[in-house]
Structures are given as C-alpha cells and as structure tokens.
C-alpha cells in the first residue's frame, strides 16, 4: 500500500487511515500525516480518538460553516413565513369585516327600498280605490 501524500510504500499496519471523508492512508511520520509522536501514541492507545487528515478537517469545517449558513437561512425564512402568515390573517380579518359592513349597508338600503316600494304600492291602491 502506498502513502497518499508522498506515494512511499507503507509496510504492514503502519499506515494511518483517515477516518474523515477521504479514507486516504498516510505514513505515520509528521511529514505525511502531520501527527507528532505523542499524538500517534494517543491514537494507538485510545479507541475514542480518531485520525482525520488536514484536507478532511478543512472540508468538514467548510461543510459545518455551509450547514450553519443554511440553517440560519431556514430559520430566517421560517420567521418570514410566520410574519407573512400573521399579516395575511390580519388582512383577511380586516377584509372580512369590511365585506360584512358592506353587506349590512346593502341590506339596509334594500330594506329601505322595499319599504318605499310598499308605501308607493299602498298609495297606488288607495288612489285606484278613490278613482273607482
């Protein structure tokens, strides 16, 4: 197996496999893996610590930044939608009230016209009876 950085041969189990996105294998030295002897010792003794290469760290950081920006945009859009919904509901209520008032006014005028027509009709009947 060859080192993905220097292309040198890695013998046995001495390579460090990146546990990030790329899964590349590097020689253990600081020149290829960027890991010093103390960190290498910690990696070999602890199962909870994993090696991630610089390229993957940069990629993960960029993805975290992009995801944060997307999350912020989603939150902002959600807030806009809530605001638009409130505004729409207020406008809808206002329009309903205005429409109700207009219908009441039309109904009142209609009732007045009907009363006037009834009066005219009564006067016509009275006049007709007088003429006979």
Q: What is the pLDDT of residues 73-126, one digit of tens each?
A: 999 999 999 999 999 999 999 999 999 999 999 999 999 999 999 999 999 998
pLDDT score recorded for residue 127: 87
The Cα–Cα gap between 53 and 3 comes to 13
The residue ranking higher by pLDDT, 14 or 58, is 58
Which residue blocks in 34-53 are alpha helix, DSSP H? 37-45
Q: What is the pLDDT of residues 23-41, one digit of tens each?
A: 999 998 889 999 999 999 9
Q: Are 16 and 27 in contact (CB under 8 A)?
A: yes
Q: What is the pLDDT of residues 48-66, one digit of tens each?
A: 999 999 999 999 999 999 9
The radius of gyration of the chain from alpha carbons, rounded to an integer in Å, stands at 42
pLDDT score recorded for residue 13: 82
């Amino acid at each position: 197996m060859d080192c993905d950085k220097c292309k040198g041969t890695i013998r046995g189990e001495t390579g460090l496999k990146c546990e990030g996105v790329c899964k590349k294998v590097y020689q253990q030295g600081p020149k290829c893996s960027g890991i010093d002897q103390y960190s290498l010792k910690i990696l070999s003794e602890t199962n909870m610590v994993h090696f991630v290469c610089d390229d993957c760290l940069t990629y993960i950081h960029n993805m975290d930044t992009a995801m944060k920006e997307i999350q912020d945009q989603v939150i902002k859009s959600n807030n806009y939608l809530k605001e638009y919904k409130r505004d729409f509901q207020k406008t809808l209520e206002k329009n309903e009230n205005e429409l109700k008032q207009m219908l009441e006014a039309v109904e009142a005028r209609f009732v007045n016209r009907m009363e006037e027509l009834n009066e005219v009709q009564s006067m016509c009947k009275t006049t007709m009876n007088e003429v006979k």
